[in-house]
Structure 1
């Protein structure tokens, strides 16, 4: 069994990380998961949350708003909708992202008035984003959905 695996984190703007790591914790849509070398192949969607990477240079954390992760024999590739190093996430940046999620939820409620599926999905994404803010110590100023 190998001690490390390749990890790549890519957002539409840039490649945030590429290198050998020991493990990565991902905010999967169905729950958190940890991938280590020789993990079974898997593709999953990501919910808003924090990716935690443990490698030879210590630990790194990145905030993602969603995306996809592919785990294979070669390693893990994350294609994030939006990603930023946790240390670079400011309250202002977080507020902007939460407001985008609020607007998407409001639009879903307007467009899909009698269809709970899309409205529930938008509410869940907004809720996950607010929870992620709590996890990293940022306030969402969110009273209720």
Structure 2
């Protein structure tokens, strides 16, 4: 059994998870990363995607996040999400609304940099929609 450590998933609305876990898979902007106890210190940006939590106490849990930051230390990990919800509570209409907003942002982009950011965000949301 893997060594346990403290994990917290926080959104502006509430604390979604605060428990001892074996591992967490985070959708980082540089690629998915599995975080375990004694991980090297890292601050990572999080793209829209699914966070998979494997608690010591039981079954795997999955949460949808819409961006944010992960603060990873050897003794724990805190993910500060822009917005987050359990996959089982995901509102498909809300996700469709976010995709439409991203399409509108892409259409309204004035610079190449804004257009690139909007395209990346829209692609992340579309991938997320297909995954859940």
Report the counterpart of residue 96 of structure 1 in structure 2.
Answer: 97
State the Cα distance separating 1:98 from its structure 2 match: 1.4
Q: Deviations over 1:98-125 (max 9, x none)?
A: 12222222222xx22xxx2221111011
Secondary structure of the 1:95 match is: helix
TM-score, normalised to structure 1's length? 0.85
CA RMSD of aligned residues (A): 1.2
Secondary structure of the residue aligned to 1:104 is: helix
Find out whether 1:86 has 2:82 as its counterpart: no
Deviation at residue 74 of structure 1 after TM alignment: 2.4
* Aligned 1:102-117 pairs, distance under 5 A: 102-108=103-109, 111-112=110-111, 116-117=112-113
Moved more, 94-103 or 81-90: 94-103
Is 1:124 matched up with 2:120? yes
| 1:66 aligned residue | 67
Unaligned 5+ segments in structure 1 are: 137-145
Query: Aligned residue pairs: how many?
Result: 130
**Alpha-carbon offset, residue 57 of structure 1:** 1.9
- Structure 1 residue 90 displacement after superposition: 2.3
CA distance in 2, matches of 1:86, 1:34: 19
Decide which structure has the larger Cα Rg and report it.
Answer: 1
Structure 2 residue runs of 5 or longer lacking an equivalent are none
Distance in 1 separating the partners of 2:106 and 2:66:
15
1:9 aligns with 2:9: yes
Give the secondary structure class of the aligned counterpart of 2:95. Answer: helix
SS of structure 2 residue aligned to 1:57? coil
CA distance in 2, matches of 1:118, 1:15: 31
Shift of 1:48: 0.7
